[in-house]
Each structure stands twice: as C-alpha cells, then as structure tokens.
Structure 1
Amino acid sequence: MVKAIIIFSNHGKPWLSKFYQTYSEDTEQQIINEMFYLVSKRDENFLEGGFLTGGSDSKLIYRHYATLYIHIRF
C-alpha cells in the first residue's frame, strides 16, 4: 500500500506531497525533511526498513531527475 508520494527540489523544497495516512502537519514536514536528508546523499534508488522510512516492513523508492527527487513510500 502506498503511504505517501512526495516530490521536492534539490534544495529540499517540497513541490508536491500527498500522504495516504493521517499525520499532523509537523510530522509530515519532519518526514519530508528526513527523506530529503536520507536520499540526497545516496546513489541507490530505494531504502528498506528503519524508523525514518516508516518501520521494518516499509520501503522508500525514489528517483532523482535533473532538479527533482520523486519519492514513493510503501
């Protein structure tokens, strides 16, 4: 099940964020910031498990195009 779709710039500014689970605004912003921090320094296109990606059964798949990061959180 998809939990969120987030698109943001190379500087971490969110362009689009759609969460399919209910979170407070502060929590959503924290998730966006943590996702950017994690993936901006990586070359691979996915992360599995861990607290920041949503738990041990979650996956974070992302793609970096020119000036955008596109994330899908499962």
Structure 2
Amino acid sequence: MNTTLQSAKMIGAGLATIGLTGVGAGVGIVFGSLVVAFSRNPMLKQQLFGYTILGFALTEAVALFALMMAFLILFS
C-alpha cells in the first residue's frame, strides 16, 4: 500500500478520535449536574437518575460514532 495513503489514514483516524475528548468532558458534566441537582432536591432522586442515564447514553453514542469513524478510516 502507498505510504502516503497509509499515513493519511493514520492522521484521519487520529483526528476522528478527538471527539472522544469532548465525550469525556460531557460525561463529567452530566454526572456533576446530577450531584448538584440531588444536593438541591433529594426528593427527586429517581427522576434525576433517569434523566442522568439518558444523558449518559446520548453522550456515549457520540463516542461510539467517533470510534466507528476511526475504525472505518483505518480498515477500509
């Protein structure tokens, strides 16, 4: 395989994984917001936890898309 193409694939895959940095920050924000909201109103524990899990799942979906893009770039 052409070395230029191989190095372009590596750079593209590296750039695709930059999205994982934002996901890490997003997950921290989601769970940090849960702690703040729970400390303000402990009676809403179940409802807050449900919203937190939904936010976590949507944030992690972005990570899976970024990882999928990186693998598609590398192995196609």
Normalising by structure 1, report the TM-score.
Answer: 0.31
Normalising by structure 2, report the TM-score.
Answer: 0.30
The structure that has the greater radius of gyration is 2
| Structure that is richer in strand per residue | 1
| Structure that is richer in helix per residue | 2
